[in-house]
Structure 1
């Protein structure tokens, strides 16, 4: 097991990509966001994960955002590059680019829309891991991709050199615990669901790859630290404090609400790329109130 695989834990933010109103990337805002996360105790950053809108960034923009985050972080915390694609060839190209830029690992979502079989998923991730010498974190989020990577497939992939972890965004704690038990520590499991992260850490997950950490990095870092230290009373107290925020940040498709929240906090502009649109008017007051309730604004 690599040093990164052993040390990677805690609160990992799935960082948004700040944009101006016209949809162009706001590089100064991105730099400020990264610095803020390092200061606030975020343990690692996912650059251009699905929350970072890779589906609407051009390939050159995708790579440039990864490059900029790596530059600003300057090795202070790990940077995990989102390099997933529904084409295995494209995923290899993005992962190779991330390696050359100096990323510490790559996060690869299951291929979306084309609905590969379980064997197809196995061969996809195995092919990428064998093609690029960079630690790979698998990402299963069936609610967004339309394809569900079964535990048995993940257990098979745990034997592939280079695959170090999996982000489980099913929100099913019992299923996540069964996966942790079946893996016997060969690769790490991370929660990809803010609402159930504390529960999954309690049964053996190494941390949380988080949307909520975009707006509450210190709180999420403290919650994960408490959960990892098996201080359940503190972890649950924090979890209850942010429960409404975790929920309201998914009132519309991610990252619509979290980008609007960050805009409301004065950290980024209002930009988001079509076909995603700014947060609907009826959700703005509830998101604002959820931010106020945890002392963010």
Structure 2
């Protein structure tokens, strides 16, 4: 990029999956279709090879291919962010690769295994952020939980443009947003973020990652617009018929945060398949059937109109 805009993506963030063919290999045609679908449906950005993209399981070669496909499919229409993280050597290699391939930035995922002290977390994130000139977003979740002081120290880097919360500690979020303000973009990264987004809005969170946008993006848009226009009647209906029923299934098994996306995509006719990489398990038949019924109601209740 010739000019880097130091700003985190806003709005509904797109997180493509990592489709597999019948031989267990990355299906690049299906991946391209997934990304183009998200862009055509109006999502503000593409976050490739992150949690939904099975970052934990894809090979280095598949990672590179996924980033290349995403950048080619986006054609500069929306920013493309990659997932980097794990052990520090791997994270730095992926950060450098992301810059080489032309990504706009990256989402920093937690380190493997270690439960670090704040000084260790700072060193981990600091090393990754300053390793390239790309925009960086810190993902607060699991074993990467920052206090205010650690996050403030990282603000010396202009590359740090965003903070994504997947922890759900509202007192921490209030302290951070009220102290730091609009220096960072605030992103809701909670599981099925629509469930919690109303609690985040007044803190300054204007963005969230939407798993359901992979198969019912018109519901994502309806929800987002209803939330920010304070349309409580529509919000209540979306919760009753779409968001909470899907979330109840998602909570039934560990790993459904990924597997349920692929199941939903297959149900609506997108060429993805439901195969997931170990240790994630596919959606069980009964849960799949339940999701089918929910989606039938959703499309009947909220028909998909032109953008």
Aligned to 1:154: 151
Shift of 1:90: 1.4
Q: Tell me, in whole angstroms, the C-alpha distance in 1 between the residues paired with 2:214 and 2:168.
A: 19
Whether 2:28 is the aligned partner of 1:27: answer: yes
Whether 2:177 is the aligned partner of 1:177: answer: no
Shift of 1:135: 0.4
Shift of 1:71: 0.5
Q: Tell me, in whole angstroms, the C-alpha distance in 2 between the residues paired with 1:56 and 1:199.
A: 32
CA-based RMSD of the aligned residues comes to 2.3
- The answer to which of 252-261 and 54-63 deviates more is 252-261
Where do residues 98-109 of structure 1 align in structure 2 (5 Å cutoff)?
98-109=98-109
Q: Tell me, in whole angstroms, the C-alpha distance in 2 between the residues paired with 1:155 and 1:251.
A: 37
Shift of 1:109: 0.9
Aligned to 1:215: 215
Q: Which runs of 5+ in 2 are unaligned?
A: none
Query: What secondary structure sits across from 2:13 in the alignment?
Result: strand
- The answer to which of 57-66 and 19-28 deviates more is 19-28
Query: What secondary structure sits across from 1:185 in the alignment?
Result: helix
Shift of 1:117: 1.6
Aligned to 1:277: 281
TM-score (norm 1): 0.89
Shift of 1:278: 1.4
| Contact 2:107/2:136 (<8 A) preserved | yes
Matched pairs, number: 290
Aligned to 2:137: 137
Q: Tell me, in whole angstroms, the C-alpha distance in 2 between the residues paired with 1:202 and 1:23.
A: 44
Query: What secondary structure sits across from 1:100 in the alignment?
Result: helix
| Contact 1:249/1:287 (<8 A) preserved | no
Pick closer, same or farther for the CA change 1:23–1:150 going to 2, 3 Å: farther
Shift of 1:43: 0.9
Q: Tell me, in whole angstroms, the C-alpha distance in 1 between the residues paired with 2:101 and 2:186.
A: 26
Q: Which runs of 5+ in 1 are unaligned?
A: none
Shift of 1:112: 2.8
Shift of 1:147: 4.3
Q: Tell me, in whole angstroms, the C-alpha distance in 2 between the residues paired with 1:152 and 1:21.
A: 48
| Contact 2:16/2:31 (<8 A) preserved | no
Pick closer, same or farther for the CA change 1:40–1:246 going to 2, 3 Å: farther
Aligned to 1:191: 188
Q: Tell me, in whole angstroms, the C-alpha distance in 2 between the residues paired with 1:40 and 1:234.
A: 24
Q: Tell me, in whole angstroms, the C-alpha distance in 2 between the residues paired with 1:120 and 1:34.
A: 35
Aligned to 2:261: 258
| Contact 1:212/1:246 (<8 A) preserved | no
Pick closer, same or farther for the CA change 1:147–1:4 going to 2, 3 Å: closer
| Contact 1:242/1:294 (<8 A) preserved | no
TM-score (norm 2): 0.86
- The answer to which of 197-206 and 150-159 deviates more is 150-159
Q: Tell me, in whole angstroms, the C-alpha distance in 2 between the residues paired with 1:160 and 1:238.
A: 43
| Contact 1:188/1:205 (<8 A) preserved | yes
Query: What secondary structure sits across from 1:3 in the alignment?
Result: coil
Aligned to 2:230: 231
Shift of 1:59: 0.8
